[in-house]
């Protein structure tokens, strides 16, 4: 039995009885046992429940009962997305024992289509980070070389898919957190348009920019998952009523005659040589597929990282004010404490990156600095959106490398937060403006580390974006993981 098949192939084989769901899930659990010691993608593995559910689905298939479209596909979920009955820790001591009383909308939609939630995967604490090193439970490692970071913050999602520990995963993307691990782990990751997927049950970090996003081996799998998890949700007023869109249908339409803008600010100085040459190769492939590629300048991109971290920190400091360790959290008696002293003591258990962002958030929002930082960041955001609106009058898509650099070693940048922030230069634009962006695995560096290419489209143009991403992925032949 091959665990390396795509999610869509799994569905077709489970449907016609070629594979038994129970066997596949059991083998996936064995795989997790074998490789997760090295990778540490999982925080929780829901072994018994996964096996029980698999048996139940096999029975339904045999007796020709109605089965949901996932046919028992094992998926992992980032541990900041609520799952009733299993812990949702956000990789933080502050929530180490938290069990959500309800499922996030994305979780319940997957369950209702008979996906099996095989476990919860690692992230930077509260999704704040780009490497998954800031997890309270320890870092996740890159399945292509465990000495290297898997990207982040959805590092557990990217690594679990790449290491064949599940067929697909849901992550969340606030500043590149789905696309960065997709790029570093050689899988596909989509940050959808703001409002396409419900955030109900996603633990809030920066509400105005974050979105849940699917990660899988192929663009087709991502389209398949998007069909299930996207759409209006009465529990999330920011979801759009887009009507029914089938993202899988017409996926193979190609991009002949389309126009693609190459973002000048994302392929210039500071970019790794091998990443630059992979990007040029990808552009040639897009041209071979019949697209016309032209340079596009978006000068507001130069200010995007400063604007992004100002806004994200501001929203984080306000969102994280709710964690007081009273209703849930870790064991720590209130005896002998005055209220504020207790809360401040408990909250000293946040990790260094979360603390840093809360301090920065409080600073940029404080009287006297609000106009200097926060308001200007909001204006940069408007400027980026305006420049993108102009760009999309001329082109259908934009292209850039997903990450400006190759994956780096665990521990290499962990003490230099600004250096880490700057690696988000190519991804934050999509979050600030709300537009969709996808990372497609494109090539491998000479040292065997993955390089991903990023494509952007205008808001709610996911269908077209997935068509281009599929066409690009079809041009590649990448090695299989040897882990």
Cα separation, 369 vs 233, whole angstroms: 37
What positions carry a catalytic annotation?
78, 153, 177
- Residues forming beta bridges with residue 212, ordered by sequence position: 172
**Site for another protein (CB under 8 A): which residue of 334, 389, 394, 447?**
334
- Rule CB under 8 A: is residue 367 a binding residue for another protein? no
**Site for another protein (CB under 8 A): which residue of 134, 309, 397, 460?**
309
Give the Å distances, CA to CA, from 170 to 71, 77, 127, 158: 17, 5, 13, 9
- Rule CB under 8 A: is residue 379 a binding residue for another protein? yes
Q: Scan for tokens 């504020």, then name that residue.
A: 340
Nearest CB to another protein, comparing residues 347 and 463: 347
- Rule CB under 8 A: is residue 368 a binding residue for another protein? no
- Rule CB under 8 A: is residue 385 a binding residue for another protein? yes
- The nearest distance, CB 108 to another protein, in angstroms, is 14
- The nearest distance, CB 82 to another protein, in angstroms, is 12
**Site for another protein (CB under 8 A): which residue of 289, 356, 412, 481?**
356
Nearest CB to another protein, comparing residues 11 and 391: 391
Contacts to another protein from residues 223-252, by CB under 8 A: 234, 237-238
Nearest CB to another protein, comparing residues 68 and 330: 330
Q: Which two tokens stand for residue 417?
A: 């937060």
Of the ranges 17-25, 216-224, 306-314, 461-469, which one interacts with another protein (CB under 8 A)? 306-314
- Rule CB under 8 A: is residue 307 a binding residue for another protein? yes
Edge-to-edge strand ranges of the sheet holding 116-121: 42-45, 116-121, 74-78, 168-173, 211-216, 188-191, 437-444, 450-457, 397-401, 259-263, 292-296
Nearest CB to another protein, comparing residues 305 and 457: 305
Per DSSP bridges, beta strands 211-216 and 188-191 are antiparallel
**Site for another protein (CB under 8 A): which residue of 24, 126, 224, 373?**
373
Among residues 7, 428, 449, the alpha carbon closest in space to that of 214 is found at 7
- The nearest distance, CB 430 to another protein, in angstroms, is 14
- The nearest distance, CB 79 to another protein, in angstroms, is 15
Rg (CA), the chain: 21
Q: Which two tokens stand for residue 414?
A: 């962990």
- Rule CB under 8 A: is residue 269 a binding residue for another protein? no
- Rule CB under 8 A: is residue 319 a binding residue for another protein? no
- The nearest distance, CB 117 to another protein, in angstroms, is 18
Q: How many CB atoms lie within 10 A of CB 47?
A: 15
Among residues 159, 231, 193, 237, the alpha carbon closest in space to that of 392 is found at 193
**Site for another protein (CB under 8 A): which residue of 381, 413, 461, 463?**
381
Cα separation, 362 vs 349, whole angstroms: 18
Cα separation, 385 vs 36, whole angstroms: 41
User: What's the residue count for the chain?
Assistant: 483
- The nearest distance, CB 330 to another protein, in angstroms, is 9
- Rule CB under 8 A: is residue 361 a binding residue for another protein? yes
- Rule CB under 8 A: is residue 411 a binding residue for another protein? no
**Site for another protein (CB under 8 A): which residue of 3, 306, 405, 481?**
306
Q: How many CB atoms lie within 10 A of CB 303?
A: 17
What is the C-alpha end-to-end distance of the chain, expressed in Å?
17
- The nearest distance, CB 124 to another protein, in angstroms, is 16
Cα separation, 465 vs 247, whole angstroms: 10
Cα separation, 158 vs 160, whole angstroms: 6
> Footprint of another protein on this chain (CB under 8 A)?
84, 97-99, 101, 234, 237-238, 300, 303, 305-307, 309-310, 317, 320-321, 326-329, 334, 337-345, 347-348, 350, 352, 355-356, 358-364, 366, 372-373, 375-383, 385-386, 417-418, 421
């Amino acid at each position: 039995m091959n665990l390396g098949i795509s999610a869509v192939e799994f569905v077709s084989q489970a449907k016609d009885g070629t594979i038994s769901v129970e066997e596949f899930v059991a083998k996936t659990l064995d795989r997790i046992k074998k490789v997760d010691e090295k990778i540490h993608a999982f925080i929780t593995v829901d072994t018994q429940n996964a096996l029980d559910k698999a048996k139940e689905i096999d029975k339904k298939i045999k007796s020709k009962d109605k089965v949901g479209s996932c046919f028992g596909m094992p998926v992992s979920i980032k541990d900041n997305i609520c799952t009733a009955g299993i812990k949702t820790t956000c990789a933080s001591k502050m929530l180490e024992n938290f069990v959500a009383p309800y499922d996030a909308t994305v979780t319940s939609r997957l369950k209702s289509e008979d996906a099996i939630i095989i476990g919860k995967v690692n992230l930077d604490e509260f999704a704040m980070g780009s490497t998954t090193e800031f997890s309270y439970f320890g870092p996740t490692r890159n399945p292509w070389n465990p000495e290297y970071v898997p990207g982040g913050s959805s590092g557990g999602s990217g690594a679990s898919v790449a290491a064949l520990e599940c067929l697909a995963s849901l992550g969340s993307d606030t500043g590149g957190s789905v696309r960065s691990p997709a790029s570093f782990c050689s899988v596909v990751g989509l940050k959808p348009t703001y409002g396409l997927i419900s955030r109900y049950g996603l633990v809030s970090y920066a509400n105005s920019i974050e979105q849940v996003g699917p990660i899988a081996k192929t663009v087709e799998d991502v389209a398949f998952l998007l069909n299930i998890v996207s759409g209006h949700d009465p529990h999330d007023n920011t979801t759009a009523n887009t009507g029914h869109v089938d993202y899988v249908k017409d996926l193979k339409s190609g991009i002949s005659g389309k126009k693609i803008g190459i973002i000048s600010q994302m392929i210039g100085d500071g970019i790794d040589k091998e990443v630059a040459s992979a990007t040029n190769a990808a552009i040639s492939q897009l041209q071979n597929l019949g697209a016309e590629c032209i340079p596009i300048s978006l000068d507001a991109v130069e200010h995007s990282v400063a604007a992004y971290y100002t806004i994200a920190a501001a929203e984080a400091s306000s969102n994280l004010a709710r964690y007081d360790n009273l209703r849930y959290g870790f064991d720590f008696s209130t005896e002998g404490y005055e209220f504020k002293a207790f809360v401040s003591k408990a909250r000293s258990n946040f990790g260094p990156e979360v603390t840093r962002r809360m301090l920065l958030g409080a600073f940029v929002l404080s009287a006297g600095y609000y106009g200097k930082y926060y308001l200007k960041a909001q204006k940069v955001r408007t400027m980026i959106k305006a420049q993108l609106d102009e760009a999309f009058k001329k082109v259908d898509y934009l292209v850039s490398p997903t990450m400006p650099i190759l994956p780096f070693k665990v521990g290499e940048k962990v003490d230099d937060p600004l250096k880490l922030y700057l690696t988000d230069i190519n991804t934050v634009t999509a979050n600030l403006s709300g537009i969709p962006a996808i990372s497609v695995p494109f090539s491998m560096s000479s040292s065997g580390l993955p390089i991903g290419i990023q494509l952007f489209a205008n808001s709610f143009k996911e269908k077209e974006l997935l068509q281009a991403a599929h066409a690009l992925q079809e041009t590649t032949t990448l090695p299989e993981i040897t882990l």
